[in-house]
């Protein structure tokens, strides 16, 4: 069965390849998504390294002059997707959304470069390096304007975890009175019980309108947006990405960048302590507008190991949570604590397992010496694909596939990480 899954995964990535960039899946997500492209590149690299690098290079064609790399690049008009470029109202070419997404690119590029003949791709990395620096600098400037050492978000979509319970209390403050009537398209592609609720979507669009009305000015957005939440996921992923960017700076001889990146890492290692919730024994989000701590444990909590923090006593408490999760949800790592009142095993980020998050958590566990736990997550991920196929996400209780099918990043995670064949990146 496994060779067939390898072939199917490659076929999915190829069918979702629209010529230099890969869409997540047809219909539901018809454009180029930021972190989807990065993770897809890991899978593509197992059979076409040149094409994997191209995936990252095309993503940066959408980079804004201020450094932001948007979460969607609208490379063609697809009326079957909402909200499209006119709703975002960003005056850029190619058209894009106005927010970013978790910056996994530096970490992916390090993996690609280490997985091939470095000399063959050195110049391409040299060309990408300043663009990634510019993007990371944008995060540290406009998503941490008070130098707290944590990364905030102005929109749930920016975190990649759209309807996570973490955002509920902050979203309640968002004005939705001015949004125009709209028709959702996502619920026409997949079961509505697997998607965010209508009121959440109203608030998502209320935030887009707010930021569009101030012309996506990054400083104004950071200071005035009603939604500004320090996110565990963004903070941990950027800290990890900064570590990998520092490694690249040293390897490339980018001496001027070394001090700047080192400063970011030092600030984050101190700042991340602000997100430690001692009452829960976990890293949790913090509403920076109200100052209130957000008491929800999610799969992003376990990205601490991926970021190189959360060891010792904190690590022990995190491991205890993982074991508790598995007593209720045996497949993978659910996106929300199964004991949480909001837990829903099939509704997007309120419970389902996401292979890319499993991958990051497991990578961190392996690096921190927790081989058995990391391997358990990998084996669970493998079993999900064998049971259900290459879905967007999976029910952690039954193993059922959720969301879109023939999904690029799930296929990529199979090829790059979960397959029993242990495929490696090739030149």
Enclosing H/E stretch for 72: strand 72-73
Instruction: Give the orientation angle of helix 355-367 with respect to helix 34-44, to 10 degrees.
Output: 70
Catalytic member of 36, 144, 392, 406: 392
**Token pair listed for 232:** 């565990």
CB of 29 closer than 8 Å to CB of 38: no
The three-state (H, E, C) secondary structure of 130-150, written as one string:
HHHHHHHHHHHHHCCCCCCCC
Rounded to the nearest 10°, the torsion over CA 405, 109, 334, 354 is 0
Instruction: State the Cα–Cα distance between residues 277 and 208, nearest whole angstrom.
Output: 30
Instruction: State the Cα–Cα distance between residues 104 and 159, nearest whole angstrom.
Output: 12
Q: Output phi, psi for 239, to 5 deg.
A: -60, -45
Rounded to the nearest 10°, the torsion over CA 163, 166, 172, 178 is -40
Outline where 225-311 has alpha helix (H).
Answer: 232-252, 255-271, 304-307
**Token pair listed for 110:** 């390090």
Q: Give strand pairing partners of 283.
A: 276
Catalytic member of 162, 260, 269, 340: 162
Cβ contacts of 23 within 8 Å, gap of 6 or more: 16, 29, 30, 31, 32, 33, 36, 408
Is 383 designated active site?
no
Is 392 designated active site?
yes
CB of 28 closer than 8 Å to CB of 190: yes
CB of 427 closer than 8 Å to CB of 46: no
Instruction: State the Cα–Cα distance between residues 411 and 392, nearest whole angstrom.
Output: 9
Nearest Cα residue to 391 out of 8, 32, 93, 64: 8
Instruction: State the Cα–Cα distance between residues 145 and 152, nearest whole angstrom.
Output: 9
* SS3 label, residue 293: strand
Enclosing H/E stretch for 105: helix 105-114
Nearest Cα residue to 405 out of 7, 73, 84, 15: 15
Question: Positive or negative, the Cα torsion across 225, 231, 237, 243?
Answer: positive
Catalytic residues: 162, 392
């Amino acid at each position: 069965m496994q060779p067939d899954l390898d072939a199917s995964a490659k076929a999915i990535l190829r069918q979702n390849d629209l010529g230099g960039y890969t869409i997540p899946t047809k219909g539901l997500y018809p454009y180029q998504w930021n972190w989807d492209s990065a993770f897809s590149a890991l899978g593509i690299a197992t059979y076409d390294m040149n094409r994997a690098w191209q995936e990252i290079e095309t993503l940066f064609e959408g980079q804004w002059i201020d450094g932001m790399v948007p979460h969607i690049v609208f490379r063609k008009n697809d009326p079957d997707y909402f909200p499209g470029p006119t709703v975002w109202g960003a005056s850029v070419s190619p058209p894009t959304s106005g927010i970013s997404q978790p910056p996994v690119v530096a970490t992916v590029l390090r993996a690609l470069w280490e997985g091939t003949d470095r000399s063959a791709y050195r110049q391409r990395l040299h060309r990408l390096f300043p663009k990634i620096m510019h993007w990371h600098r944008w995060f540290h400037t406009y998503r941490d304007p008070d130098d707290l050492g944590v990364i905030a978000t102005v929109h749930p979509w920016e975190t990649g975890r759209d309807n996570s319970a973490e955002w509920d209390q902050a979203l309640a403050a968002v004005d939705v009175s001015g949004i125009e009537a709209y028709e959702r398209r996502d619920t026409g592609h997949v079961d509505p019980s697997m998607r965010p609720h209508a009121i959440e979507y109203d608030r998502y669009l209320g935030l887009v309108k707010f930021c569009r009305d101030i012309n996506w000015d990054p400083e104004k957005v950071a200071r005035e947006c009603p939604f500004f939440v320090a996110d565990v996921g963004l903070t941990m992923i950027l800290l990890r990405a900064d570590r990998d960017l520092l490694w690249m700076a040293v390897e490339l001889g980018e001496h001027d960048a070394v001090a700047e990146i080192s400063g970011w890492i030092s600030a984050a290692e101190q700042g991340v302590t602000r997100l430690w919730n001692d009452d829960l024994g976990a890293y949790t989000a913090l509403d920076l507008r109200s100052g209130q701590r957000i008491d929800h444990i999610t799969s992003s909590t376990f990205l601490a190991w991926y970021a190189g923090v959360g060891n010792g006593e904190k690590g022990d408490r995190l491991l205890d949570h993982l074991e508790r999760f598995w007593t209720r949800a045996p497949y993978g790592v659910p996106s929300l604590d199964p004991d949480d009142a909001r837990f829903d095993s099939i509704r997007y980020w309120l419970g389902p397992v996401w292979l890319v998050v499993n991958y990051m958590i497991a990578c961190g566990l392996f690096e921190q010496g927790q081989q058995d736990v990391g391997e358990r997550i990998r084996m669970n991920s493998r079993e999900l694909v064998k049971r259900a196929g290459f879905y967007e996400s999976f029910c952690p209780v039954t193993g059922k596939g959720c969301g879109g099918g023939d999904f690029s990043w799930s296929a990529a995670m199979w090829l790059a990480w979960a397959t029993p064949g242990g495929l490696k990146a090739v030149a």
